[in-house]
């Protein structure tokens, strides 16, 4: 885990290097307590995408538990094609 004190944020080049090398977040502390998280934009986007995908999976599982009718992917594609066919 990458942890740096708040005063080290002045050295932005080092923080950027730490993010790139660890391919993960850098945790910033103040008086020994966590205050901030700094991360590379690629890591952020990847994490947000994974969270969104996990949310969709959880919603789908909830639909299954609630007895929502399942439709195959092919059926959905055919319905979309028929609605938007010229």
pLDDT of 86 strictly over 80: no
Q: Tell me what pLDDT residue 71 has.
A: 87
- The CA-to-CA distance between both ends of the chain, in Å, stands at 56
pLDDT on residue 38: 96
Residues of the chain within CATH 3.40.1620.10 domain(s) are: 2-39
Q: Is the pLDDT of residue 19 over 80?
A: yes
CA–CA separation, 32 and 28 (whole Å) = 9
**How much of the chain, in percent, has pLDDT values that exceed 70?**
99
User: Is 0.75 surpassed by the pTM of this model?
Assistant: no
Positions of E strands within the chain: 2-5, 26-30, 33-38
Q: CATH number of 2-39: 3.40.1620.10, 3.40.1190.10, 3.90.1180.10, 3.30.2350.10? A: 3.40.1620.10
Question: pLDDT tens digits for 38-74?
Answer: 999 999 999 999 999 999 999 999 999 999 888 888 9
């Amino acid at each position: 885990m990458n942890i740096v004190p708040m005063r080290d944020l002045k050295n932005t080049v080092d923080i950027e290097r730490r993010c790139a090398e660890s391919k993960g977040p850098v945790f910033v502390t103040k008086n020994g307590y966590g205050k901030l998280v700094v991360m590379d934009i690629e890591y952020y986007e990847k994490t947000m995408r994974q969270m969104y995908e996990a949310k969709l999976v959880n919603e789908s599982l909830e639909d299954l538990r609630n007895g929502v009718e399942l439709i195959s992917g092919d059926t959905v594609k055919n319905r979309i094609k028929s609605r938007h066919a010229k």
